[in-house]
Structure 1
Amino acid sequence: MTSATPPSQTPDFLRRNAGPRYGTGMWPMVNPRPWNLTPPPPEPGKPVIGVLIDPVSVASEVAGELKTIGWPGIGLMDQDFQMEVLNTPSSEIPAKIEAWFVAHRDEICDTLLTRLRGYDVAGLSATAVEAMTEAIESYRAGKHLSTVRTLFPEFECFARAFTTDPTQKVNQKQAISDLKEMINRTPLMKDDPLEMFSLLHFIDDHFFQNCWTVADAQMFGPIPNRHAELHGFASYGHLQGSSTLLCVMDILLKLMDRLKKLNAFPHLTRSTSPATG
């Protein structure tokens, strides 16, 4: 029998009592900000202390800042800009993010188009790829209302792809509920957890929430709500609204592609299975 680890040697104790912490820490155990990125001077006879800057920790912190102000984009921003965001006063971050989206519009569109070519959603939506392509080009041209109204119907289209019988009538509320449940059950890959976590709250908390009046729509601010847009309570045909729709549709296409590879759609499995006799 081995003895238990003394309390003074447990990881939690060591983290709390390690003295000054340098660098970002490793995600998900990110050091509290402000980070000390200046290494201490070396002391004779003691190891040199290095400063660790973990890019995932940096992205995690920036994703939190973006969520607070209702902007997407963590999967599109390079680390240099992310560090700039973290060094910006909170009151100035919204304007900085908006300016970044304006300055990088063509780069954003090219990146999303490249991603789109790698997704296979055939059989799940007859128009998703075409709609996303047209929405990206509308965004490139600054036509934000066209971007928003082109993309919103595709969410429900994907939702209905989860029905066991595509010919069956499905209640809209149930279809959206099934979509959100399947998204939550979709396995993450090593390249996208922060992007997923930073975008899915738009679906959970905003896109499909009930909205019956103009006052309801005002509670969502500039973050898109499907019911408000389609029924005229508010419009999200602006940079923040269209940027959000594009980024969330991109992550949804990625999830649908992944689920298709995992054979999550019964009607596709049946239609592609070899005949038996």
Structure 2
Amino acid sequence: MFIAPSAWFTGFIPDLPTPFDAADAVDLKAFAALCERQIAVGAPAVLVCETAGEAPTLSPAEQELIIRTAVDAARGRVRVIAGAVSNATSHAIELARRAEAAGADAVMSVVPAYNKPMQEGILAHFRAVAGATGLPVILHDVPSRTLRPLADETLLRLAESRQFAGLRDGSGDITRPMRLAPHLPAGFRFLSSDDATAFAYVANGGDGAISEVANIAPDLCRTIFSQVRQGRLQSARYLHKRLIPLIGCLSRESPAALKYALSVLGPMSAATRLPIVPLEATAQREVVRAFAAIADEELIDGVGA
């Protein structure tokens, strides 16, 4: 039975990386293990074929295989959001249709990068993607990558259709949920796209985060979210501050640093696909130091003191 995204598009949702093997092929076995790890800790959903997943380097056939693998692993226990990432509207439509056919629960569509469309073009792009699928569409605004932002006015126009279920917000504006929520449908969800400011975003009315660090410390992220919702802000802030060194490592070289971190924990190889290259030695040591700084409190599963 279909469950409205407002029921599950909340909390810390991991942006899953795409594992590659030594031959540069997608390692579906390792990917299924990443999915199972998140299911085991009670993640509300997983996001595949998006930023951390190196989506621009994946073929449509590879993306479909990845989505099907996530859906098969989930078996209804967790929702699967599939990226439909392209700056060509026709290609984004193809990806959205493939995601629906593969069993995804929602698609995530990003503001087109490089083209620098006007707001009317952004509006038309998202409406065309939504019109090609029966799935809920989650918007992704990330001006640092796309150059053009999703303007508040454009977001409000899109949200007139309940098919647009939420926003992955990479704008860095932590006041956005509080400012816009009164003008949007009650079920519309705001999730931060920035781990560094996720605590502040949720404390200011956000519904969670699409997170890289949740790949590494899912239990801790869930605890932070729960404590914010319970009003225990001092405790949540303390735990979030302990994660900041690791978050800094991940954000500087995404997703190479995330893949290296997960390779240290064991679930996957650190291999990337060009133009992303593996993390260099100095940055690797920084990741290890960030682990060590929080291992004494066992804040990361699988990392000992």
TM-score normalized with structure 2 length = 0.26
Larger radius of gyration: 1
Q: Which has the higher helix share?
A: 1
Judging by fraction of residues, say which structure has more strand. Answer: 2
